[in-house]
Each structure stands twice: as structure tokens, then as C-alpha cells.
């Protein structure tokens, strides 16, 4: 997916004026927040689980190479194949090669953020392979030719009426589908034939279990199970930080994930895939492939932002962020929106492309408070802000004056009168430059 993160301010302004988007955001926000609250209130050990989950992730990331190699060994032992992809292009090439070998013409897909990140759909379409998204939200935005606006609810910005119009346009039906169950049934009927015709099914993974070589996927629609069971070939595309050591660890994270994401105790479907179909299995794919995507994560692991790799993509930080709640996901311009997206996009694409995103936060701290992995998002956003060359330059300038009180006083008095500082006019337009006192607090104290 091409990034438009550099146009964040422009996109945010447009989002604020979009009435349909504002209505959709207001509706979804209270839904997610209320459900999460009730689910967490009903689980007294929630905080203990958070600590355990953080320890599991920290331990795994410290020994990532060991657990990834164990995962690979177990996938091979169960009859599957593992493909290592350093870049997004390597990952797309690996999937294309598997599709080519399988002589695939059509692919069904489950929801996967990493597939969005590597722009897999565009690569498949360029190779003349039909790709059909099967998660209802993803299907809607595929028809609308839009990117997801939320990591767990990709079409959250669409109203029911907009979806009805889309279906009428694309399904060639004359009838108007006004109610949500009618829309769901229609999508189900269209997608059923796509599942049956597909040569390859591609899914993401919420986790990879090293001790068994299993991939774990949670959904609420069952589309993931049809995607990985019906086609001849199943490809799992997963980023390397998804690995956890054991099934026990996996269940700890699952207990946090559903509650934090949708406020459910468990999602409707939790599917573990371990290798291709065995002789006595009644269904399943003939081939099972896992594409392990790095795409900048190894570099992240070694740097100051490695905590971001603990993210389990629950979306709670988006749902509680006042900025996301006002502008929605598209304004962020790439795959990952909200507080987690502002950090990840800046890290993956660089501050030249996404320099405004670390500022898309009030630093109120709500994101960290609700994050099941306690990722210090405000601290990371703040750290990114100070890495922007302009910010570094301004802080340097401020430090120069701060170390020279008389000069600082003269400068701030002048600015106070003029009400404007060159180069940061947009900041001073809405704020007053505080005028420094003539003497320090201690001098005044001693005098009095
Ligand atoms: S940063 Fe935390 S709250 Fe946000 S998506 Fe990741 S795990 Fe969830």
C-alpha cells in the first residue's frame, strides 16, 4: 500500500469535515470502549495476565532467533515449508512463486495486516491472479478500493448505506439491501463460490507457536477456516515477532487479545494450523507454507524502539485515542493508524515520510493505560518527536537561550510583544510565548 503519511495534516483536516466518517467513528468508539471495559471488569486477574504476557514477549524477543528456528524445525517436521523474507518484495516473491508452482488463478484471503504492509494484493493482481478478501470488512474496502481504516475493523468508517450502495454496484443487483443481516447474507453468498473456486488460501497469523510449529488465527466470521481448509494450498504470511515459545504462552496472549480488541472472552473462532492435511484428516490443504516476514523488524529489535515489537495488534490504543477518534485511520496514510501506527509508520517508513505522525497525539497516556502489553506509546512518540531534524534544531536553539537568562528574557519579551516566532509561526499562532521573569525564583526567594 502506497503511503500518503506525508500529507497527514491535509488528510486530517478533510477527515474532520467528513460527516459520514464522524458519525461512524462516534458509533464505533463507544462500542469498543464499553465492551472492553465490561470484559476486563469480569476478569480480576487481567493485570496479572498483562505482566505475564509482557514477560513472555520480552523473553521471546530476547531469544527470537532460537524460537524462530525451533518454529521452522517443527513446521518442516509436520510436512510444511518455511520461506524467510527479509523485505516486503522477498515476501511477495515467495508467495508468487508458490502460486506459480501451484498454477493458481485465484486466491482467497483472510484479514492480514502484514499482507497490507507488504502490498501483497497489488503483487498478486499484477501477476494476473484474482485475489478476493473474505473478511467482511476487508471485502467491503476491497470493493471500495480503499485501505483499511482500523487494524481490527477495516471498514469501520463505512456506514450501512454506503455498504449497500457498494454491493448494489458490484453485485449487479437491483434490490436495495437496507438491513445489516441482508448485507451479510449477500456477501456470504458471493464469497461462498469464491472459496470453492480458489486454488490458494492466504491468511495471516496472530501467533506462531515454536514448540508445535502451529500458526494461530483468531476470527469472528469463520472465513479464515474456509480460507485455510478449502483451497489446495494454504499460505500463512506472518511477521517474525509473532512467534511465542509454547501453547501455554499462546493461551495467555489469547486471553488478553480478544478482551482488549473486541471485549470478547474469546473470539468465535481460534484456529491452529499445523502442517498440511494428513492421511486420516477429512479436510485441509495439500500444501502448507509459512512466509516469515522481517521487513525492518530485526533492525527495530536492536534499537531504542524494540518494545513496539511486543504489539499484539489488538487495536485498543486506537479505540481510546482522542486523535484517532476524531480523524479515523485513513488520515494516517498507511497501514497502521492510531498511536501504534504513529510509532510503527515512523519507524518503518522513516520520519521524512511520516514526520507529522509522532505529533498526532495529545500524549494523554490513555493508549499506554489500555495497551494489554503496556507498551509505553507516549514515551516512544515523544522520543520520535525529538529525532526530527527541525525539532532537534529548535531544542538546540531553546537550550542556547535557556542557558543565558538575560538573553532569554529579552528574546521572550520581544516575542511576547510581536506574538510570532519565525519558522514556528503555526505553533505561536495558537499559543502565547511565556515571558520569562526578570530574575530567577531563588533570587526572588532570597530577597524576600
Ligand atoms: S500498541 Fe498495545 S493497544 Fe495498541 S494495538 Fe498494540 S498491543 Fe494493542
Q: 399 falls in which pLDDT band (50, 70, 90)?
A: confident
User: Rounded to a whole number, what is the largest CA-CA distance in the chain?
Assistant: 91
What are the residue ranges spanned by the domains of the chain? 43-298, 399-447
Q: So what's the pLDDT on residue 331?
A: 97
Whose C-alpha lies nearest to ligand 1, atom 7? Answer: 311
Rounded (to 5) percent helix, strand, coil in the chain: 55, 10, 35
Whose C-alpha lies nearest to ligand 1, atom 6? Answer: 311
CA of 386 to the centre of ligand 1 (A): 22
- Confirm or reject: Cβ of 373 under 6 Å from ligand 1: yes
Q: So what's the pLDDT on residue 179?
A: 86
Whose C-alpha lies nearest to ligand 1, atom 3? Answer: 371
- Confirm or reject: Cβ of 152 under 6 Å from ligand 1: no
What is the DSSP pairing of strand 214-219 with strand 269-273?
antiparallel
Residue 321: closest CA among 349, 350, 304, 341: 341
CA of 340 to the centre of ligand 1 (A): 6
Say if CB 311 and CB 375 are below 8 A apart.
yes
CA of 36 to the centre of ligand 1 (A): 13
Neighbouring residues of 309: CB distance < 8 A, sequence distance ≥ 6: 57, 61, 241, 297, 300, 301
**Which three cell numbers mark 159?**
456506514
CA distance 297 to 312: 14
Mean pLDDT score, 351-379: 96
Residues in a beta bridge with 290: 82, 236
Mean pLDDT score, 376-405: 86
Q: So what's the pLDDT on residue 439?
A: 75
Torsion angle of the four alpha carbons 227, 228, 232, 233, in this order, in degrees rounded to the nearest 10 = 110
Give the Å distances, CA to CA, from 431 to 385, 401, 408, 420, 428.
19, 19, 18, 9, 5
Q: Tens digits of per-residue pLDDT, 400-438?
A: 888 887 788 777 777 766 666 766 777 777 777 666 677
- Confirm or reject: Cβ of 371 under 6 Å from ligand 1: yes
Say if CB 53 and CB 252 are below 8 A apart.
yes
CA-angle at 136, arms to 357 and 310, nearest 5°: 40
Q: 348 falls in which pLDDT band (50, 70, 90)?
A: very high
- Confirm or reject: Cβ of 337 under 6 Å from ligand 1: no
Summary mean pLDDT of the chain: 92
- Confirm or reject: Cβ of 315 under 6 Å from ligand 1: yes
Q: Tens digits of per-residue pLDDT, 203-241?
A: 999 999 999 999 999 999 999 999 999 999 999 999 999
- Half-sphere exposure of residue 248: CA atoms within 13 angstroms, side-chain side: 2
Give DSSP secondary structure letters for 85-109: ESSHHHHHHHHHHHHHHTT-SEEEE
Nearest atom in ligand 1 to 340's CA: 1
CA of 310 to the centre of ligand 1 (A): 8
Q: So what's the pLDDT on residue 422?
A: 67
Whose cell is 507516549? That residue is 378
Other residues' Cβ atoms within 10 Å of the Cβ of residue 119: 17
Neighbouring residues of 195: CB distance < 8 A, sequence distance ≥ 6: 108, 134, 226, 227, 230, 231
Say if CB 80 and CB 289 are below 8 A apart.
yes
CA of 72 to the centre of ligand 1 (A): 27
- Confirm or reject: Cβ of 313 under 6 Å from ligand 1: yes
Q: So what's the pLDDT on residue 309?
A: 98
Q: What is the CATH number of domain 43-298?
A: 3.40.50.10420
Q: Can you tell me whether residue 289 is helix, strand or coil?
A: strand
Whose C-alpha lies nearest to ligand 1, atom 4? Answer: 317
Amino acid at each position: 500500500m502506497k503511503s500518503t503519511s506525508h500529507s497527514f495534516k491535509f488528510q486530517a483536516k478533510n477527515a474532520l469535515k467528513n460527516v459520514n466518517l464522524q458519525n461512524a467513528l462516534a458509533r464505533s468508539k463507544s462500542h469498543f470502549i464499553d465492551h472492553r471495559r465490561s470484559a476486563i471488569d469480569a476478569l480480576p486477574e487481567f493485570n496479572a495476565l498483562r505482566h505475564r504476557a509482557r514477560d513472555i514477549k520480552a523473553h521471546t524477543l530476547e531469544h527470537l532467533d532460537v524460537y524462530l528456528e525451533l518454529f521452522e524445525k517443527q513446521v518442516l517436521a509436520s510436512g510444511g515449508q518455511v520461506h524467510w523474507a527479509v523485505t516486503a518484495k522477498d515476501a511477495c516473491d515467495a508467495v508468487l512463486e508458490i502460486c506459480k508452482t501451484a498454477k493458481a488463478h485465484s486466491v482467497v484471503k483472510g484479514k492480514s495486516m502484514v499482507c497490507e504492509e507488504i502490498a501483497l494484493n497489488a503483487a498478486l493482481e499484477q501477476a494476473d491472479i484474482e485475489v478476493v478478501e473474505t473478511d467482511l470488512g476487508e471485502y467491503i474496502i476491497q470493493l471500495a478500493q480503499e485501505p483499511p481504516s482500523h487494524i481490527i475493523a477495516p471498514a469501520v468508517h463505512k456506514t450501512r448505506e454506503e455498504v449497500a450502495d457498494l454491493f448494489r454496484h458490484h453485485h449487479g443487483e437491483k434490490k436495495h439491501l437496507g438491513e445489516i443481516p441482508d448485507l451479510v447474507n449477500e456477501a456470504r453468498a458471493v464469497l461462498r463460490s469464491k472459496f470453492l473456486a480458489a486454488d490458494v488460501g492466504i491468511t495471516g497469523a496472530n501467533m506462531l507457536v515454536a514448540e508445535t510449529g502451529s500458526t494461530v488465527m483468531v476470527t469472528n466470521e469463520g472465513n479464515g477456516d474456509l480460507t485455510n481448509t478449502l483451497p489446495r494450498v494454504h499460505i500463512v504470511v506472518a511477521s517474525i515477532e509473532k512467534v511465542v515459545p509454547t501453547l501455554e504462552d499462546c493461551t495467555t496472549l489469547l486471553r488478553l487479545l480478544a478482551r482488549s480488541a473486541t471485549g470478547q472472552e474469546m473470539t468465535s473462532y481460534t484456529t491452529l494450523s499445523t502442517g498440511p492435511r494428513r492421511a486420516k484428516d477429512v479436510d485441509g490443504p495439500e500444501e502448507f507454507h509459512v512466509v516469515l516476514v522481517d521487513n525492518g523488524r530485526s533492525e527495530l529489535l536492536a534499537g531504542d524502539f524494540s518494545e513496539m515489537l511486543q504489539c499484539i495488534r489488538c487495536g485498543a490504543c486506537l479505540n481510546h485515542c482522542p486523535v484517532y477518534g476524531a480523524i479515523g485511520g485513513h488520515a494516517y496514510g498507511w497501514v497502521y493508524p492510531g498511536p501504534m501506527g504513529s510509532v510503527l509508520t515512523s519507524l518503518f517508513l522513516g520520519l521524512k515520510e511520516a514526520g507529522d505522525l509522532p505529533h498526532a497525539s495529545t500524549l494523554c497516556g490513555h493508549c499506554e493505560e489500555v495497551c494489554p502489553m503496556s507498551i509505553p506509546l507516549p514515551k516512544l512518540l515523544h522520543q520520535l518527536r525529538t529525532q526530527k531534524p527541525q525539532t532537534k534544531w529548535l531544542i538546540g536553539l531553546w537550550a542556547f537561550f535557556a542557558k543565558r537568562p538575560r538573553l532569554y528574557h529579552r528574546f521572550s519579551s520581544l516575542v511576547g510583544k510581536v506574538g510570532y516566532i519565525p519558522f514556528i509561526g503555526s505553533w505561536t499562532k495558537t499559543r502565547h510565548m511565556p515571558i520569562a521573569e526578570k530574575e530567577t525564583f531563588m533570587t526572588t526567594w532570597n530577597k524576600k
